[in-house]
Structure 1
């Protein structure tokens, strides 16, 4: 039995649990840190009535820690809503939808994994780092309307998420 491994594993668990204990709970984050029932403050005194509810967040790192994310109502970089444009503006594919691709900006590429074929399909494999999570208890609608073409061959697309 290797005691140094056991001690280092216990030490790592204690450190990570202390860090996670310092994170606010999900219910506190979603409600904006509301006060208990019956102790609501008056309007304008800086209590929970003035705090906006958090609607979107993302996860990071191997521990899945939450950090605030915004809902993009301006649709900045709207063209990057679909893969392969989602990865980078300089993303090269074989041409067919769903095929492998590679970012042509060398320093923006992720670290190469041990399995060669996994790197080519990383844009299609869902991970928590590239997803946004929404609070389903706060009503919201993300709507978009796209159009293109001309009088003879036009195309309209209305989408509501």
Structure 2
């Protein structure tokens, strides 16, 4: 029923798993904290800055003594300052997300070809997908002439600062 790898591969597989989970673990713990706070609020508890308010709302998969240690750690001034700083950084992050919504690259290229009468360049498609809405080259006027789009690259760095 289950796949078992050879013992000689165990260390490499374990390192890979550790590397993968390292990026997901902070988000997992943030979700655990938020769920515990939400459950406490549903029960009428006033959940403030003190994480001990959620001690009774631990997930079933975390042992009680571990949950208490986690709450104690989350209540330290050092952790709270770091959490607040990272929350602020996440809220200010502007890049790294695609701005096409549910529209695929194929749909973008097909629409642009129909409106412009030519294929989009890779650079134009990338800019359209990664620039902020309203400052993307094709947002200005999809029915514009292709010479206007060619000028986007030479128009200065106004577009570049909106890129990832």
| TM bracket (short chain) | under 0.3
Structure with the higher helix share, 1 or 2: 2
Greater share of residues in strand: 1
Q: If the length of structure 2 is used for normalisation, what is the TM-score?
A: 0.24
Q: Whose RCO is larger (CA < 8 A, sep 6+)?
A: 1
TM-score by length of 1: 0.25
